[in-house]
Amino acid sequence: MDEIAISSFWVYFASEPLLWLVLTLATFLCAQWISRKAGGTPLLHPVVVTMALLIGLLLLTDTDYDTYFDGAQFIHFLLGPATVALAVPVYDQLPLIRRLLLPVVGACLTGTLVAASSAVGITLLLGGSEELVRAIAPKSVTSPIALGIAEQIGGQPSLAAGLVLVTGVIGCQLAPLVFRLLGQQDPAVQGFTLGLAAHGFGTAWAFQMSAMAGAFAGLAMALTGVFSSVLVPVVVGLVL
Amino acid sequence: MLLGFLILLLCQLTGELLMMTLGLPIPGPVAGMLILFVGLLLYGSVPRALRVPAEGLIRHLSLLFVPAGVGLIQHFGLIAQEWLVILLTLISSTFVALFVTALVFKALHPSSSGETRDG
C-alpha cells in the first residue's frame, strides 16, 4: 500500500518539469561544494560531477532524456543570452586588445584552425564515424557556441557538449606540460592559450593563476567562438 | 536589470533573424554577441542595467551547459564504439592546439621575453 503511494507520488513528480529543474540546480550546488573541498582540480569540475550524478540518477530511475529536458530546458534556454553577454567582458578588455591586436588575432586564427582541423583530421585518420567528426569539430569552442556550431554542421549538440567538456579537462591537464616544453611563463600567453584550447575550463583555471591570465583567457574564449562559427563549418565542409 | 536582460534577448533575436535572412552559417547568439559589441562601441560604455545581468549569466556559465551535457546519455552507443578514437583525438588535437597557439602568440608578442610587464 505504502509502496504504491510512494511510486504514484514519484510517477507524478518525475513527469513534472519542476522536479528536474530543482534537481539540476541542487546537484550543481552540491558539486560546487565538492569541487571546492577537493581544491578545484579540473577532474572534479562541478559540471563534470553534476553530469555524472544526473546521468546516474536518470539511469537509476529509468527516466528518459526528454522528460529530464522538459525541466532542464529553462536552464538551457539561458545559454543564448549568456553567449550574447560575452560581448561585455570583451568590450572591457578593448584597450588591451588594441595594444596586442596582432598576437591576439594571429594566434586566435591559427589556433582556431589548428584546433578544428586537427580534431577533424585525426578522427578521420583513426577511422572515426562521420557522426563523430561533426560533433568533435567544435571541441575547443565554449559550449554555448559549440552547440550552435554543431547544430549548424549537422552534428548532435548533446554529443558535442560532452566532447567539449572532456576537452576542457584534458586541456587543463596538458597545459602545464606544454608551457614547460616551450619555456613559457608569460601570463598573457598562458591565459590566452588556455582560453583558446580549453574554453571555459581553461579560463577558470587561468583566473586561478592570475587576474591577467584570466582576462586573456576570457578574451581568447570569446574570439575563438566567433572565429570558429565561421571557420569550423568551412573545415568540415572541406572534408565531408 | 530587466532592461539589460531585454537588451540581451533583443540582440539574440536580431542576430537570429539576420542570420536566417542572410543565410549565413553563424549561430544566432554569436551574431547577437557581435551586434551587442558594436552597440557598446557606439554607446561608449557598458550601462549598469546591462552589466548586472551580463556578469550574472557569465558567472554561472558552466551551470548552463549541464542540460545539454546530460544528453550524453543518448550517445552511449557511439561512445562505447568509438571511445578510443575520441580519447586519442581529443588528447592529441588539444596538445597541438595549445602548442601552436602559445608559439604563435609568443612570436607575435611585441615584448615576448617572458617578462610580465602588465603584472
Quick one: B76 and B51 in the same domain? no
Q: Which of A26, A58, A77 is the last residue of a domain?
A: A77
Closest CB to A119 among B61, B82, B89: B89
Arithmetic mean of pLDDT, A107-127: 96
B21 vs chain A: nearest CA distance in angstroms? 15
Distance separating alpha carbons of residues B77 and B71, to the nearest angstrom = 13
Let me know if A66 is exposed, middle or buried by CB neighbors in 10 A (0-12, 13-18, 19+). exposed
Contact A72 B50 (CB under 8 A): no
- Asked if B57 and B11 sit in the same domain, the reply is yes
- Considering the domain architecture, whether residues B76 and B60 belong to the same structural domain is answered as no
- Single residue among B64, B89, B107 that ends a domain in this structure: B64
CB atoms within 10 A of CB A128: 23
| Structure confidence at residue A3 as a pLDDT band (50, 70, 90) | low
pLDDT of A103 over the 90 cut = yes
Distance CA A219, CA A214 (A): 9
**Cβ-based contacts under 8 A for chains A and B:** 327
DSSP-derived secondary structure letter, A208: H
Residue range of the domain that includes B90:
71-119
CB-nearest partner of B106 from A132, A148, A184: A184
- Smallest Cα–Cα separation from A90: which of A229, A231, A197, A225? A225
Residues B60 and B115 in one domain: no
What is the pLDDT averaged over residues A20-44? Answer: 89
Judge whether residue B73 has pLDDT over 50.
Answer: yes
A71 and A116 in a single domain? The answer is: no
Q: C-alpha A240: how far from its chain's center?
A: 24
pLDDT, tens digit, for every residue of B36-53? 999 999 999 999 999 999
Residues B60 and B83 in one domain: no
At B36 the pLDDT is 96
The three three-digit cell numbers of residue A160, written as one number: 558535442
pLDDT at A64 over 80: yes
Residue A126: strand, helix, or coil? coil
- The verdict on a CB contact (< 8 Å) between B33 and A126 is no
Q: Which residues contact A55 (CB under 8 A, 6 or more apart)?
A: B70, B72, B73
Residue of B16, B35, B72, B81 to mutate, interface with A, max A Cβ within 10 Å: B72
Contact residues on chain B for A147, CB-CB shorter than 8 A: 27, 65, 68
Measure the CA–CA gap between A123 and B56, rounded to whole angstroms.
37
- pLDDT digit string (tens) for A208-236? 788 778 878 888 988 898 899 889 999 99
Report which of A224, A233, A235 is spatially closest to residue A153, judged by C-alpha positions: A233
The pLDDT score that the predictor gives to residue B118 is 45
| Closest approach of B16 to chain A, Cα-based (Å) | 10
Residues A106, A148 within the same domain = yes
Most B CBs within 10 A among A88, A108, A112, A230, hence the mutation to make, goes to: A88
HEC-encoded secondary structure of A41-84: CHHHCHHHHHHHHHHHHHHHCCCCHHHHHHHHHHHHCCHHHHHH
Q: What percent of chain A has pLDDT over 70?
A: 96
How far is it, in rounded angstroms, from Cα A207 to Cα A212? 8
Q: Based on the fold, state whether residues A111 and A61 are members of the same structural domain.
A: no
Per-residue pLDDT, A105 = 94
Same domain, A66 and A170: no
pLDDT at A181 over 70: yes
How confident is the model at residue B111, as a pLDDT?
65
A162 plus A91 within the same structural domain: yes
Q: Binning pLDDT at 50, 70 and 90, where does residue A164 land?
A: very high
- Mean pLDDT over A57-80 rounds to 92
Same-domain check for residues A147 and A47: no
Domain count along chain A: 2
Please give the residue range of the domain that contains residue A20: 2-77
Both B45 and B95 in one domain: the answer is: no
Q: How confident is the model over A164-184, as a mean pLDDT? A: 92
User: Regarding predicted confidence, which is higher, B109 or B95?
Assistant: B95
Answer whether residue A65 shows pLDDT above 70.
yes
Give the integer Cα–Cα distance in Å for A155 and A157: 6
Backbone angles phi, psi at A46, to 5 degrees: -50, -35
Query: What does the pLDDT read at residue A188?
Result: 87
**CB-CB under 8 Å, A230 with B26:** yes
Q: What integer pLDDT is reported at residue B114 of this predicted model?
A: 44
Q: Do B92 and A122 touch (CB under 8 A)?
A: yes
Chain A residues within an 8 Å CB radius of B106: 103, 182, 184, 186, 189
DSSP 8-state code for residue B33: H
Residue A23 and residue A117 share a domain: no
A30 Ramachandran zone, left/alpha/beta (phi>0; psi -120 to 50): alpha
pLDDT of residue A98: 85
From B64, B84, B99, give the residue that closes a domain: B64
Chain B residues closer than 8 Å to A220 by CB: 101
> Is A193 in contact with B101 (Cβ distance < 8 A)?
yes
Q: Which of A203, A199, A197 is nearest to A215 (CA)?
A: A203
- Please report the DSSP string for B40-72 in residue order: HHHH-S--HHHHHHHHHHHHTHHHHTHHHHHGG
Same domain for A54 and A117? no
Report which DSSP code applies to B119: -
Split at pLDDT 50, 70, 90, the class of A2 is low
Of B42, B64, B86, which marks where a domain is finished? B64
Contact B82 A144 (CB under 8 A): no
Is B66's pLDDT higher than 50? yes
∠ CA(A46), CA(A117), CA(B77), 5° rounding?
55
Taking residues A14-25, what's their average pLDDT? 88
Distance CA A157, CA A148 (A): 8
Query: Is pLDDT of B113 > 60?
Result: no
pLDDT band at A68 (very low <50, low <70, confident <90, very high): very high
A63 and A106 assigned to the same domain: no
CB spacing of A106 vs B108 below 8 angstroms: yes
Q: Over 60: is that where the pLDDT of B119 sits?
A: no
Q: In the predicted model, is pLDDT for residue B116 greater than 50?
A: no
